[in-house]
Amino acid sequence: MTPDVHETGGAVSRRRVWVLRLISIALGLSSFVLLELVCIAAGWGESQFGDDPLIGFESIRPLFEKTSDGRDFHTSPARRGYFKEVSFAVRKPVNEFRIFVFGGSTVQGNPFSIETSFPTYLQIALEKADSSRPWTVVNCGGVSYASYRLLPVMRECLNYQPDLFVFCGGHNQFLEHISFEEVRESAAVTGPAHSLLSQLRSFRILQRSLKNTAIPHRVSGTALAAGGSSATLPLEVTTLLDQHNGLAKYYRDDALAKLIARSFAADLRSMSILSRENHVPLLFILPPSNLSDCPPFKSEFSASTTVADQTEIKSLLKKSRELVAHDLDRAIKLLEEAARRDPRYALTWYELGQLQLAALDFTAADVSFRRAKDEDVCPLRMTTPLESAMRHIASAETVPLMDAQELLSRHCRHGIVGDAMLVDHVHPSFRGHENIAISIAEWMLSVGMASETNTNWKDEAVQECRDRLLALDDLYFLRGQRALRSLRLWAAGRADETPTGPPEHSDERPTSRATMVPSESIENTAK
């Protein structure tokens, strides 16, 4: 049967239309490809601080400035409220390998200081491992500094001839009050598209051209998609816990948590692009959290949990505590029932983890402790969504990632990080800092950034770290212990009760070093 001529002509016509459409799309895409290649060749549209679509700042000050004799860069006096004094040569010595480590108080070495931080120990390890060249490790750890505040510091450090950037952060993302307001509803739609487009230089040029000189406090979803910013933060950190009754300012906000995770991912991607385009290797370090020895800072019932269920959950917790001494299995079952009634109540998970630990069910205890951390309404420890964001960006951007949580868990009983490696909720002990430093040095040796000229370098590095620790004066440990007490008060939400520091003319004198250093740290120092 012969096909109808009109039907055949119609089919041909439709094919022509689709062919022409595909050709038009291809030509359009080729124009974008050509534009992107021109931008790359001309060096236009490089990643800059400010590419995070959610957060901006009123102003930015440099972290380093030249000393009076012009020979060195050192920490600007205006920034020493958050950063410690460090210095490095303006004229980089021949063959020197220069590393900049970015992060919060964990990087700085709190509650003690940079003398016992892992960046300092890293320099010692590298000097012991490879004596063929000079090594300089610059500590850029800022107290309470989140990733968005560290981006401009990283950009600044491109001016100082870096050979390696190391970023270790994630604990401080919830410390400041960030109100994304109208962005909440549009973020779910614009976020994925922005994440993809922000990797194109041509898009970054368009994005910046659409931004106003002054960053608005509130923007629409359309402005966000074009690169607007919804939150303008002050020059320096003012955490919620620095305010009177700061803990009360924390409440469950799942939408905000998702936006903060998205902002963190955008910051990490910007760091990756910044490093790659400037040919500076980058290493991510996932920082450790105390799981087994740190109760949640604030537990909150779900909005859907009735008053009757809340009362019952509290009763189950009380009964479990009474039973634990003589009927551990029954006590665990009571807490499991409490968790079923409201799986968002953090304290239930923490107490359940403790009982599972006592029952030698370490796998279940680890799950419960992590759930307690994630349900903490005052998240002062890196949450699982933030950890996932770091892992995802590291994989997508081909950035090496060192998991300090997993690293330190190897040195903790039952493989769950607690007081054996951390002096509080997030800060490593002296031995914890040693382990992180040694691990970074091992990675650098494995990728060819350093050469092993001394096969006994690990033992010598550890001994040097501990010799320097013992050489520190008693005042160093006294200040550290006072800082630790203050930090615990602050983390408990009592910032108005936190002492500002030792009095100028204190007559207090320690009777022994054991009174100034946590017992675990003393034990590790002696080993």
526 pLDDT above the threshold of 50: no
Specify the range with the lowest mean pLDDT, choosing from 51-60, 157-166, 208-217: 208-217
Mean pLDDT of 381-404: 98
State how far the alpha carbon of 21 is from the alpha carbons of 14, 24, 466, in Å.
Answer: 11, 5, 70
Question: Which H/E stretch holds residue 402?
Answer: strand 401-403
pLDDT at 16: 76
pLDDT tens digits along 183-195: 444 444 444 555 5
Residue-level pLDDT at 213: 38
Residue 198: name the closest of 58, 48, 302 by CA: 48
Q: What is the per-residue pLDDT for 405?
A: 98
Which among 197, 193, 189 has a CA at the least distance from the CA of 32?
197
Quote the pTM value.
0.79
**CB proximity list for 321: less than 8 A, separation 6 or greater:** 331, 351
What pLDDT is recorded for position 43? 65
The pLDDT > 90 percentage for the chain reads 65
Tokens 């050192």 correspond to what residue? 74
Residues forming beta bridges with residue 166, ordered by sequence position = 101, 283
- Higher per-residue confidence, 524 vs 376: 376
What pairs with residue 102 in β-bridges?
Answer: 140, 167
Lowest mean pLDDT among 166-175, 460-469, 517-526: 517-526
In this structure, what token pair is assigned to residue 40?
């790359």
Domain ranges of the chain: 307-375
* Helix (H) or strand (E) run with residue 138 in it: strand 135-141
User: Residues 143-202: pLDDT tens digits?
Assistant: 999 999 999 999 999 999 999 999 999 999 999 877 665 444 444 444 455 555 556 666
Q: 307-375 in CATH: which number? A: 1.25.40.10
pLDDT range class, residue 32, cuts 50, 70, 90: low
Out of 83-92, 184-193, 456-465, pick the least confident.
184-193
Helix (H) or strand (E) holding 401: strand 401-403
- Strand stretches in 5-110, DSSP E: 55-57, 64-66, 72-75, 87-89, 97-103
Tokens found for residue 436: 């992180």
Q: How far apart are CA 107 and CA 100, in angstroms?
A: 11
Rounded to 5 degrees, φ, ψ at 488 are -65, -40
Residues 39 and 419: their CA atoms lie apart, in Å, by 51
- Judged against a pLDDT cut of 90, whether residue 355 lies above it is answered with yes
- Which range (108-117, 169-178, 277-286, 321-330) has the least confidence? 169-178
- What is the radius of gyration, based on Cα positions, of the chain? 27
HSE-up of 468 (CA within 13 Å, CB side)? 16
Q: Name the more confident of 38 and 425.
A: 425
pLDDT digits (tens, 9 = 90+) for 403-432: 999 999 999 989 999 999 999 999 999 999
**Cα diameter, the chain:** 111
Q: What is the DSSP letter of 495?
A: G
- Residue 231 confidence (pLDDT) above 80: no
Q: Determine the residue type at 118.
A: F
Name the phi and psi angles at 397, rounded to 5: -95, 5
Cα(408)–Cα(418) distance, rounded to whole angstroms? 9
d(CA 171, CA 145): 9
pLDDT for res 4: 57
- The more confidently predicted of residues 45 and 37 is 37
d(CA 386, CA 287): 11
CA dihedral 481, 486, 490, 491 (to 10 degrees): 20
Q: Does residue 233 register a pLDDT over 80?
A: no
pLDDT band at 221 (very low <50, low <70, confident <90, very high): very low
Q: What is the per-residue pLDDT for 235?
A: 76
Output the average pLDDT for the chain.
83
What is the number of residues in the chain? 527
DSSP track, 418-434: STTTBSSSS-B-HHHHH
- Residue 477 CB partners (closer than 8 Å, separation 6+): 112, 510, 513, 516, 517
pLDDT band per the 50, 70, 90 thresholds, residue 490: confident
Tens digit of pLDDT for each residue in 237-263? Answer: 888 888 888 888 999 999 999 999 999
pLDDT class of 275 with cuts at 50, 70, 90: very high
Which band of pLDDT confidence, cut at 50, 70 and 90, is reported for residue 46? low
Residue 516: its pLDDT value, please? 37
State the Cα torsion 311-316-322-324 to the nearest 10°. -160
Which pLDDT score is estimated for 497?
41
